[in-house]
Amino acid sequence: MAAVIALGVIALVLLIFFASAIKIVREYQRVVVFRFGRSIGTKGPGFTWIYPIMDRIVWVDLREMYLEIPHQTGITKDNAPISIDFIVFYKVVDAVMSVLQVGQFAGAAENVSATTLRAVIGDISLDDVLAKRDQINEVLRTKLDETTERWGVKVTNVEIREVIPPPDVQDAMTRQMSAERTRRAQVTEAEGQRQATITVAEGQKQAAVLVAEGNRQAAILQAEGYAQALETVYAAASKIDAKTMGLQYLDALKALGASPSTKFIVPMEFANLLAGIGGFNERAFGNGETEKPAT
């Protein structure tokens, strides 16, 4: 019976031993092993065996982490107080150094970041702090990386999250923004009026061009109609004989006779034309005798 109990105790001890000796390390993790207090390096990832009595381990996460730095007040180059908070992204590149060289990385990094920020802001004017965030981010990242490099930690990025200028500067920025919006509104309105004026003038010009073109076409059509009328009259007149023309002149004489005038001037061509009409000379110009032309 005692032997059975002893075997059970030994099995339990061995089970506890093996459970403590076997470690499963994930891909993004490493374990720093200390044997009798001396660092013997890292193990992992995957199945890892340690000696529970002799070895002590420290887990290290190799993934990229971030650290929020609360608002820090600094004085700019032109003596303006300003409050800034930012985020520091970092990654462990040497697991052993990150354990041996720094006791509490988060607290150390926060204090280093605060002092580095004040040093960087002190060399920059307020306008540059508000306008050149990317440059400030890069300067902060470089300076922090120089410090954390000896801890086996790489600062991958720094992002300024919020910049709070002094109250009087905020009021001035608000007034400037309002004035800028007013200026843009006036410029937009003036541009709209200019475009409207140009559009109206262009429309009037096109209307005048269309009117002039219409008048020109009307004049051309009128001249063509008048020319065709003259051609028609000329064609008709060329087919009329002398007797027909004489009859037309007789109608003209009837109209003259109805007039109250007492004197009429008759062209000689008119008399010669009427001479072809029988008996006209006897009734109109003589006693019936016809003067013979001289030979």
pLDDT-based confidence at residue 64 (cuts at 50, 70, 90): very high
Phi, psi (degrees; rounded to nearest 5) at 153: -120, 135
Average pLDDT over residues 87-95: 94
For residue range 217-262, list pLDDT tens digits in order.
888 988 888 888 877 777 776 666 666 666 666 676 666 667 676 6
Residue 100 has pLDDT above 80, yes or no: yes
Output the pLDDT for position 249.
Answer: 65
Residue 48 has pLDDT above 80, yes or no: yes
More confident call, 149 vs 236: 149
More confident call, 96 vs 227: 96
Output the pLDDT for position 295.
Answer: 37
Average pLDDT over residues 156-170: 86
Residue 70 has pLDDT above 60, yes or no: yes
Q: Cα–Cα distance between 16 and 54 in angstroms, integer?
A: 15
For residue range 170-184, list pLDDT tens digits in order.
777 777 777 888 888
Average pLDDT over residues 149-163: 91
Distances (CA, A) of 132 to 5, 129, 244: 76, 6, 107
pLDDT-based confidence at residue 53 (cuts at 50, 70, 90): confident
Residue 157 has pLDDT above 90, yes or no: yes
Provide the whole-model pTM. Answer: 0.57
Output the pLDDT for position 285.
Answer: 44
Q: Cα–Cα distance between 68 and 70 in angstroms, integer?
A: 6
pLDDT-based confidence at residue 162 (cuts at 50, 70, 90): confident
For residue range 9-37, list pLDDT tens digits in order.
788 877 877 888 888 999 999 999 999 99
Output the pLDDT for position 79.
Answer: 86
Q: Of 116, 113, 120, whose CA–CA distance to 69 is shortest?
A: 113
Average pLDDT of the chain to the nearest whole number: 81
